Chain A
Amino acid sequence: DAGITQSPRYKITETGRQVTLMCHQTWSHSYMFWYRQDLGHGLRLIYYSAAADITDKGEVPDGYVVSRSKTENFPLTLESATRSQTSVYFCASSESQAGANVLTFGAGSRLTVL
């Protein structure tokens, strides 16, 4: 499928478990991003990546780990899930050319930590 896909779409886990959310894009966009969406906070940036093997922290990186061994994939791992990480997670990508920076988003992954 063309575009940006996230999996799983829905996940329920328990406190302390490791969870990985997957993100795959087919455009070969250089930049990829992970945001979390919470009521009253809008979207907050967790991590971003400018290219394969280049990642950096956003506003709320604590408790999360990312990797980017291939341009098309940008998985997000919660090493030991906590209830405060219950949220909807969105992956996005954008091209590297200069100009208005348009992000294209996936459909989201809803994570519940019990």
Chain B
Amino acid sequence: GDSVTQMEGPVTLSEEAFLTINCTYTATGYPSLFWYVQYPGEGLQLLLKATKADDKGSNKGFEATYRKETTSFHLEKGSVQVSDSAVYFCALSGNTGRRALTFGSGTRLQVQP
């Protein structure tokens, strides 16, 4: 079945550092890929998405490129801020028709001033 693997956290960075959170997936066909962010005490919010190979999703300075050859969708940001501290989830929407998302286990990011 479908699955998503993301790097374990927590990831601790200093403000203005470069961020990469790795995400790889297993799925049949051509899934859509997502990054969601969860701030403390809140639900998940969509950060960005990509629907086909080589698409780049971007939002709020975050980017991720859909790489079918490596089945990856790594999240990057050039300069993190304290306000980016949150848990980040990689997810995919497969081709089963049920329209649910399969999530990775989440990566906690802590940005220190």
Contact = CB atoms under 8 A, between A and B. Distances in A.
A108 B43 contact: yes
A40 B101 contact: no
Interface residues of B, number: 23
A99 B43 contact: no
Given A41-B105, A48-B98, A58-B100, A99 B45 contact: no
B100 A107 contact: no
B108 to A, nearest CB: 10
B49 A105 contact: no
Residue from the set A48, A101, A104 with the largest chain B CB neighbour count within 10 Å: A101
A94 B84 CA distance: 26
Contact of B49 (A33, A50, A100, A104): A100
Interface in A25-47: 31, 33, 35, 40-45
A102 interface: yes
A108 B45 CA distance: 12
B25 interface: no
A10 B52 CA distance: 39
B69 interface: no
Given A90-B43, A107-B43, A101 B105 contact: no
Contacts of B41: 107
Contacts of B101: 43, 101, 103
Contacts of A61: none
B32 interface: yes
Interface string A85-112: 0000010101010011111111110000
A50 B43 contact: no
Nearest to A9: B41
Interface of B: 4, 32, 34, 36, 41-46, 49, 51, 89, 93, 98-106
Interface of A: 31, 33, 35, 40-45, 48, 50, 56, 58, 90, 92, 94, 96, 99-108
8 contacts: A35-B103, A42-B4, A42-B105, A43-B89, A48-B99, A92-B44, A101-B101, A105-B43
| In the A-B complex, the 3 residue pairs with the closest CB atoms | A105-B43, A42-B105, A101-B93
